[in-house]
Chain A
Amino acid sequence: QSVLTQPPSASGTPGQRVSISCSGSSSNVGSNTVSWYRQLPGAAPKLVIYFNDQRLSGVPDRLSGSRSGTSAFLAISGLQAEDEADYYCAAWDDGLNGVVFGGGTKLTVL
């Protein structure tokens, strides 16, 4: 059971916009910044969004991050086949005094 809650799956057709949620609490998402990672099959995770909404250099502007209260969101617009991957959110947790990850969301491009 992960401290941060993500939907296990999400899907969309090419060109659509999808949003992945990351639900936490006042001790993590509500008070600390969120980062997002993309993991392609068989590969290591890669940072795509940091500081809630900052894109890492080279990440297309189709990806955007946001935070509202104790939830964070990763939105992907203009969905492409290459976006098919697992996505994880992460944040510092003040109560646990450590980093917590979401359980991951598998994004399928139909």
Chain B
Amino acid sequence: QVHLQESGPGLVQPWETLSLTCTVSSGSVNDRNYHWGWIRQPPGKGLEWIGSAYYIGSTFYNPSLKSRVTISVDKSKNQFSLKLTSMTAADTAVYYCARHIHRMAAAQEWFDPWGQGTLVNVPS
């Protein structure tokens, strides 16, 4: 069963860049059936999709974050990563990585499974 685990700093200073990694086990980021996505959840609030990437390097992002986001896939390490620039207190959230089933032609769109999440705090 595929397992995802996020890693990265718990504290990021204002205007710095957040870098998070998601390690995939019992599965491959090379699997052409899946995309790999990031979702975040501010404390006490709802879920927000950040973006997703495919093993060949194609990506698509939430328009509201697109100017600050880069998601990439590292096939050699079986990982994918998130970079979010110019962090502010509004970016404080639990960041989740997830396997993204995204097949428009088949109308298939869901996230499963999810990592446990990692809390990133940006002091104000």
Which A residues contact B (CB, under 8 angstroms)?
A: 2, 32-33, 35, 37, 43-47, 50-51, 56, 88, 90-92, 96-104
Q: How many A-B residue pairs have CB under 8 A?
A: 75
* Cβ–Cβ < 8 Å partners of A2 in chain B: 46
Contacts A96-B63, A101-B49, A103-B46 known; A90 to B112 CB distance under 8 Å? Answer: no
Top 8 A-B pairs, shortest CB-CB distance? A35-B110, A47-B112, A99-B49, A50-B110, A101-B47, A104-B46, A44-B114, A103-B46
* Cβ–Cβ < 8 Å partners of A104 in chain B: 46-47
Please report the C-alpha to C-alpha distance between residue A50 and residue B40 in the assembled complex, in whole angstroms. 20
Q: Which stretch in B11-19, B70-78, B101-109 binds the other chain?
A: B101-109
> Is B111's beta carbon under 8 Å from chain A?
yes
* Distance (whole angstroms) from the CB of A11 to the closest CB of chain B: 19
* Cβ–Cβ < 8 Å partners of A56 in chain B: 112
Where chain B touches its partner, the secondary structure class is: strand
* Cβ–Cβ < 8 Å partners of B110 in chain A: 33, 35, 47, 50-51, 90
Please report the C-alpha to C-alpha distance between residue A2 and residue B41 in the assembled complex, in whole angstroms. 13
Contacts A32-B109, A45-B96, A46-B114 known; A88 to B46 CB distance under 8 Å? Answer: yes
Chain B, 21-58, CB within 8 A of any chain A CB:
37, 39, 46-49, 51-52
Please report the C-alpha to C-alpha distance between residue A100 and residue B108 in the assembled complex, in whole angstroms. 14
Contacts A35-B111, A51-B107, A91-B109 known; A45 to B63 CB distance under 8 Å? Answer: no
Please report the C-alpha to C-alpha distance between residue A96 and residue B101 in the assembled complex, in whole angstroms. 18
